A and B are shown apart, each in its own frame.
Chain A
Amino acid sequence: MKVMIVGGGKTLYFLCRNFIAKGYTVVIINRNKEECVQLARQLSATVVCGDGSDAVILKDAGAVGADVVLAITPNDQDNLVICQLAALKFGVPRTIAMANDPENVEIFENLGVTAFSTTHIVSSLIEQRASMEQIINLLPIGEGRVNVTEIALNTDSPVTGKLLKDIVLPENALVAVVMRDQRPIVPRGGNQLLAGDRLVLITLPENHGPVLKIFSGEEQ
């Protein structure tokens, strides 16, 4: 897979390190000459120095063969144009823009560009994690439309000892996996939940609170 990333800073550096470790071919476009030299020294990636929203630079960087273009500059207008040029001029199949201003996520989606906001992701993580100690892990997927939550059961949990089929969940919620003694179980109605189990829950934002309440007993 060939990934092209436009931007700079630590986020870009660690993302690239991650991608390279996975065996992806990484191309970086960055405007700052000194940062380019640093990146080229530290990473086994192709580094192109220039404006990523300039069609000539994108072309030189090999946009035509890229599988993904990721635009994470601090300027939303640049991220939008980079993704549009990559998709429309060079036929890149998947482009993703970072929206520094969280309000721009919806706007970019309306303009046909996939977008995400770190502000959204971090704030939802903090909010939902801070609200309950038992929640071990939380990950929004599908642009935040689906939550994956890991929750630990103790002896006080209202569902401990119950069969899964006796627990009434709202629509569009699921206990996907039960981790028991390091072993994963994909549960069915006949499985009993025990203290010490860690459940992986799939929820939607609208039923997330009620579902957690069923398993923890606490008000969200």
Chain B
Amino acid sequence: MGNRLYIVIVGCGRLGSYLANHLSRMGHSVVVIDSNEETFNDLSSDFSGFRVMGDATQIGILKEAKLKQADVLFATTHEDNVNLMVAQIAHKLFNVRHVLARVFDPRREQVYEQLGIETICPTSVAAEMFLMAVAGSQAVEGDKMS
């Protein structure tokens, strides 16, 4: 990735702060939004992006984060519905090119696929990895048998 991207991250929890630190270190312009100021303590000392304190479901906060200029938006708060709302606003109203929302409930995932919102479901991802591990150990068992 040679060019510098403008990335807005909503939610500065474990996932949000990890992404923010990592992407900032890679040289991208990063803006983090969270309604709880304390969460910004999780940003590393070399984080060179901006912090916006506020509720991202209020459009004024998204404007303050200059969402219009963003290339990428990640919605990573702990509330599925906040992530889905912010992702839709970014995608449909601010025309952000790449929008990704974290959604814990796999059943909500399908509906938003229909609406063109890309989602990542940690539950499905983890389940898949567990199932692969089981399949893997079965294969090992199988090898032993033969």
Contacts and interface: CB of A to CB of B under 8 A. Distances in A.
Contacts of A155: none
Nearest to B79: A77
Contact of A111 (B60, B82, B88, B105): B88
A77 B84 contact: yes
Which of B88, B92, B93, B110 is packed against the most chain A CB atoms within 10 Å? B88
Nearest to B110: A89
A53 B80 CA distance: 10
B115 A88 contact: yes
B85 interface: yes
Contact of B92 (A84, A85, A89, A110): A110
Nearest to A87: B111
B97 interface: no
Interface in B76-133: 79-82, 84-85, 88-89, 92-93, 105, 107-108, 110-111, 114-115
Interface string A95-133: 000000101100100110000000000000000000000
Contact of A110 (B60, B93, B108, B110): B93
Contact of B105 (A54, A78, A110): A54
B139 interface: no
A86 to B, nearest CB: 10
A80 interface: yes
Contacts of B88: 80, 111
Contact of A107 (B82, B93, B107): B93
A55 B92 contact: no
B60 to A, nearest CB: 7
B92 A81 contact: no
Contacts of B89: 107, 111
Contacts of B80: 53, 81
B135 interface: no
A37 B88 CA distance: 35
A80 B115 contact: no
Contact of A76 (B85, B93, B105): B85
Given A103-B58, A103-B59, A111-B92, A85 B85 contact: no
A110 B95 CA distance: 13
Q: What are the nearest 6 A-B pairs in CB distance?
A: A77-B81, A77-B85, A55-B107, A81-B81, A77-B82, A88-B111
